[in-house]
Amino acid sequence: MKNIKYYSLICFFIIFSCVPFNISATENENVLVEARDELKFESVIERVKQSVVLLSMNPNVDPETEPKKSGLCSGVVVDDIGHILTNFHCVYNQNYIRLYYYDEDDWQNYEVNVIGLDPLADLALIKVIGKEEPIPHLEFAEDAGKIKAGTDVFALGHPMGMAWTVTKGIISSTERYARHPFIKAIQTDSAINKGNSGGPLMNMKGEIVGINALIISKISESAGVGLAIRGDIVKKSFESMLSTGRVDRPAVGIMIMPLAQVKQRKKIIKEFPKLKPEFIPNTFGVFVRPDENLPKGLKKFDTIIGVNGEMINDGLQFSDELSKYNIGDTVTLTIVRKRRYLNVKVPLKVFPVDADKMYSKIKTPALPIPIKPEKKP
């Protein structure tokens, strides 16, 4: 019995004495991993800075005429021949556009040519004039269309005139839209401010997952809610602008109102008091607004709940389904009309975009030209 107690005591001390060493080893391993990740992230930042450009714009050909109207935006090089993506609102009605690279040996500004425009997605494609040396470009993330909320991301741009600023955060949602429900956007808490527009939102590998476009704030400054055009949409837009200089999207040719929110239903009832509330589905679909030019087969106050057999819940899903088809294709819409389910075939048209109406009230912030980047030691 004594021997059993003796051996038990020895085992207890052996086990007890080993525990701190195991914890210490784990902690040391975590510290090493964190240090390694930090060094890796620093190298990613230095690499991607070479591909992010600064744009200075003014609506006047001579910016000295009205210097207070000058503004700043960001852009990103996206192929090996120097094409650069930025926001449409950065080049809209701007007659003076100059570009700066992150290069301590080359701090001159360059003129640019506008190659393509996509006002609906708030995207523009430009190319520098007179820069012959190759510029490193960034790749699009292959999973940009499937990226999940909670993913670590970072933004790089020129907020408030502070050149090549890095801000880090996570993706808060992938089910937002910017400018129009056709355009899927990523919501991020990575700080985005005036001057970040047109710059890339990237994963931790330095791949493009979005193009920063909007901030949602009552004070015109970052409030932890930034929106970036989703990378898969940006890539398709880039390819189309590169090919044709424009982006055409399919549409039914109707004005809609979503029904997924109770307040939207109440808004419809208030706007159309003669409409019987019982004819409006409670929670899903999109509502067809009255219009003189509705496609054949559709009537005002129809509720669209499906496209070619795929059920839709709101405007985002409706635009998602339409984007799978081409202009000129015929799709079958499942609708509810006075409590009856019907199928209506309609041809898809070019979605009309009025850029002046969309952007006439947007003002590019007046910001100072940033200082030259510091030389590397």
Say which residue, 177 or 190, is predicted with more confidence: 190
Q: Could you tell me the CATH number of the domain that includes residue 358? A: 2.40.10.120
Same domain, 232 and 304: no
Q: Average the pLDDT over 326-333 and give the result.
A: 95
**Is the predicted pLDDT of residue 346 greater than 60, yes or no?**
yes
Contact call for residues 216 and 318 (beta carbons, < 8 A): no
User: What pLDDT was estimated at residue 330?
Assistant: 96
Contact 109, 96 (CB under 8 A): no
Do 267 and 221 share a structural domain?
no
Question: What pLDDT score was predicted for residue 124?
Answer: 96
| Residue 154, pLDDT score | 94
Lowest mean pLDDT among 96-105, 345-354, 362-371: 362-371
Mean pLDDT for 24-43 is 63
Residues 94 and 241 in one domain: yes
Helices (H), 88-146: 88-91
Instruction: Please state, as a whole number, how many other Cβ atoms lie within 10 Å of the Cβ of residue 188.
Output: 30
Are the C-beta atoms of residues 299 and 308 closer than 8 Å to each other?
Answer: no
Residues 15 and 164 in one domain: no
- pLDDT value for 16: 43
Predicted confidence at residue 143, as pLDDT, reads 86
Name 80's Cβ contacts closer than 8 Å, sequence gap at least 6.
134, 137
Given a cut of 90, is residue 362 above it in pLDDT? no
Q: What is the pLDDT of residue 345?
A: 96
pLDDT class for 273, splitting at 50, 70, 90? low
- Global pTM reads 0.77
pLDDT band at 377 (very low <50, low <70, confident <90, very high): very low
Are 295 and 180 found together in one domain? no
Residue 56 has pLDDT above 80, yes or no: yes
Give residue 137's pLDDT. Answer: 94
The secondary structure of residue 182, as a DSSP letter, is: T
pLDDT for residue 241 is more than 70: yes
Query: Do both 303 and 198 map to the same domain?
Result: no
State pLDDT tens for residues 62-106.
777 777 777 889 999 999 899 999 999 999 988 889 998 887 666
Q: Is the pLDDT of residue 20 over 70?
A: no
Sign of CA dihedral 218, 224, 225, 228: positive
Q: What is the band of 26 on the pLDDT scale with cuts at 50, 70, 90?
A: low
What is the spatial distance between Cα 270 and Cα 260, in angstroms, rounded to a whole number?
A: 17
Residue scoring higher pLDDT (273 or 130): 130
Domain match, 69 and 182 both: yes
Closest CA to 284 of 315, 253, 309: 315
Range with lowest mean pLDDT among 78-82, 145-149, 290-294:
290-294
Q: What is the pLDDT of residue 173?
A: 85
Q: Mark whether 278 and 223 lie in a shared domain.
A: no
CATH number at residue 298: 2.30.42.10
3-state helix, strand, coil in the chain (%, to 5): 30, 30, 40
Note the pLDDT of residue 248. 93
Same domain, 140 and 237: yes
Which of the listed residues 49, 65, 84 is the one where a domain comes to its end? 49
Task: Among 54-68, 116-130, 147-161, 189-203, name the one with the lowest average pLDDT.
Answer: 54-68
Residues 59 and 166 in one domain: yes
Give the model's confidence band at 323: pLDDT under 50 very low, under 70 low, under 90 confident, else very high.
Answer: confident
**Structural domain total, the chain:** 3
Range of the domain at 6: 1-49
Same domain for 99 and 242?
yes
Sorting pLDDT into bands at 50, 70 and 90, what band is 162? confident
The reply to whether 45 and 66 lie within a common domain is: no
Q: What is the mean pLDDT of residues 321-339?
A: 91
What is the pLDDT averaged over residues 210-226?
70
